Structure 1
């Protein structure tokens, strides 16, 4: 870790000193001191409220961007029918599966049924992006291959908080902690040149009110591919407007009295107008922008909860999920980011995750060979230096890459974790692209502004002046990925 520049530290200390030394007269704050500290208090409260709400702000960013572009309602399920490219701004998307994502409100529409065809991999999450528990206690959030249906498909019933009505037979029952629910589905394809069968399969999904299928709105599946849409976490003052709308819909289902009190302290109260004046609005906007930048600082850390995130003792790959395990009394942290041993919410770990990623479930953490996925994040090269768009790098993948379904490497913009807009159709390269192998069965991938001579099929473009990071995904990781006996090389700088 690099130390802070002493000159910058002195400037920072001077700023703190200025606040601490504001004058009081006869034991009372002067008018100017009071105004300065009131503004500072609003700024600090808003900044901390933003960071606390990072999972909500991530979800709201996706919802606002999607619904603005593709429409809203339980019957609207956008599908990236030509795969997800860099025109869709969203945290760490995967261009190597088909995405379908929607946002439903159980408070407005009541219990909803989602019918899903076989063979999908999906997650049902509340607005904190906590996987929704399935009645019976064995599953959390997962739908499809890792869910209670085991990939056979079926009817999944979403119930709102506190629901006490009848529960009919024949459904997998999910009881949400919030009225608002995020539906995230992945569809798989075998031939990248013919996605139509996988799209048609995803379009067999239906969402409709319980006992209201006959009168339900017809499903719509807008094609989201190639259409500009900003679905990133909201990084300006409008984040607080969206939190106000969510508080109005959720109230005490969203948070406990302390954090509802923090929101109230910046003017966000259920059922009351949220009309900040121009001065307050300016402070809230600056707080949101600052908090988002703070989240980016946390998001590039290589340690959390006092421990290293590195996967291997001699490599620079990080696994964002190694510190998170499915709910169990034996775990160190559950999927609501509670540190079980310490009995506290691991706020930095939650911020770390939701500034760069979204959605999590036990199925994503599966240690059963051939199921789930393994993720390896590369923030730096083999020397521990950040990846630079103008440099050339090589990544060596040893033979027998342990992925039963497929593997891929994807590049992400360091500024916002969205897919790197590098001029190629997709910022990813993987097994289904059939890169050339070496004589021993290993594979070398190349990252840089220009393809090395004769290596274009194994090359991902980078952009000079734009930093990035990478994710190596192994879908259906086999035993050597799970026990870490197979290790990818570091990303090494080359001339």
Structure 2
């Protein structure tokens, strides 16, 4: 910890409570950073769909995003307009969706698409405000939210990485509609905001700005019953509903130090997340089992509330799934086969075995270890089984290379890294099949090439 908590007992208590507030408030601040990036891109950010009409690059500075699908993020608020309709098109030859709709705390209300509540047949999801006490009209899929605001992370899945299939995925995504139920008889045009080419900076700020964002979340939404214990805790660090947040110099100093200490704590806890998916692997599902269980239960278990695990998870990712593993699955690593941190100055190889356990595609993406975002100026962020001209070995396996320069002949199989920092790798399985879960197919660890050892 910093020297700030070594002063008076009052300063020490304030510092301690500020660190705890960072852990508790992480998913809401994570959402707030994305919402505000959305507002900077296209306006107020309410009841509009932010989208990227192409594959993501370093301009998208959200946490560990997927650069191999078309991204859409509907931001909604029901506070003024009541229930919100999200129309989802059916899956088929035109395309397929994968994603979920979440509340302010990024807890999934439901998944959508073939693995979601509509089961791929499409439909009209109805997002209901917490004070809704009416009848749900016939023909709607009700999604009951305990917050007024929320968002969706929706992916329009590519059939391949060709320009034509990217265009088709974009066109299919535009069939989604978002509007108030009150206007269903004459729905307005959906407000689409093109975020491509703009810096969409949603990285977590570990300084006074974190508490400023946390204050905005407290002002925006009533406390959930499970979080009422935080009312007094937050008031002791200057955050109180209905009162302006205006810390003086001494409090600002304490909060700034607490944010930095919280980041150090999170980074240490982050490494504990990596429990091997198989006994001998460095790859791990980047979420503790207790967090997955709590999220699926909307944190309403009577004897569990894993705030620390949640804080760590939302320090490097956003999004939750109602039914993780049905539509997609993730394995992540921060170390090579020898247990050493992945270093952007080295060159590595990953051999993806043949017959990967997916019905759609697999991909591997690298992120800046310090920020958990895409490497800003890299020409590409990862490699996908859908990539054009991908070199596949005679036995059906695929060699992927990571490093600051492309090894000879690696072509599209090379993923660039930043030689000035560490990186992490996330392997995605879309449409996972049983051989992943019964471990008859295993993803080997990333190894350094001989020249890098």
Residue 236 (structure 1) aligned with residue 207 (structure 2): yes
Pairing of 1:117-156 with structure 2 (within 5 A): 117-119=89-91, 120-132=97-109, 141-156=110-125
Residues 99, 321 of structure 2: 8 Å contact kept: no
- Quickly say closer, same or farther: Cα 1:412–1:68, change in 2 above 3 A: same
The count of corresponding residues between Structure 1 and Structure 2 is 442
- SS of 1:166's equivalent? coil
Aligned to 1:311: 277
After superposition, give the CA deviation of every residue in 1:75-117 in whole Å (9 maximum; x if it has no partner).
4211111121111101110011111113222223221111121
TM-score (norm 2): 0.91
CA deviation after TM superposition for structure 1 residue 457, in Å = 2.7
Of the three residues 129, 134, 144, the one matched with 1:160 is 129
Secondary structure of the residue that 2:182 maps to in structure 1?
A: coil
What does residue 253 of structure 2 align with?
Answer: 282
CA distance in 2: counterparts of 1:364 and 1:245, whole angstroms: 30
The answer as to whether partners of 1:60 and 1:234 remain within 8 angstroms in 2 is no
User: C-alpha displacement at 1:145, in angstroms?
Assistant: 1.6
Counterpart of 2:383 (choices 422, 425, 429) is: 429
Q: C-alpha root-mean-square deviation of aligned residues, in Å? A: 2.4
Q: Distance in 1 between matches of 2:319 and 2:65?
A: 11
Which residue pairs with 2:406 in the alignment? 451
Any idea what SS the aligned residue of 2:194 has? coil
Residue 296 of structure 2 is matched in structure 1 by 335
The change in CA–CA distance for 1:365 and 1:37 in structure 2 (over 3 A counts) is same
Give the structure, 1 or 2, with the largest relative contact order (CA under 8 Å, sep 6 or more): 2
Q: Which of these residues, 68, 85, 95, is aligned with residue 96 of structure 1?
A: 68
| 2:9 paired residue among 22, 37, 51 | 37
Q: Which has the larger radius of gyration?
A: 1
1:107-122 aligned at under 5 Å gives the runs 107-119=79-91, 120-122=97-99
Identify the residue that residue 421 of structure 2 maps to in structure 1: 466
Structure 1: stretches of 5+ with no match in the other structure:
1-11, 20-32, 133-140, 304-308, 328-332, 367-371
Per-residue CA distance 1:343-373 (angstroms, 9 max, x = gap) = 222233212211111111134322xxxxx11
Residue 383 of structure 1 and its aligned partner are, at CA, apart by 0.4
CA distance in 2, matches of 1:153, 1:491: 39
1:3-18 to structure 2, matched below 5 A, reads: none
- What's the counterpart of residue 369 of structure 1? none
CA distance in 2, matches of 1:153, 1:477: 21
Match of 2:48 among 57, 67, 76: 76
1:8 counterpart residue number: none
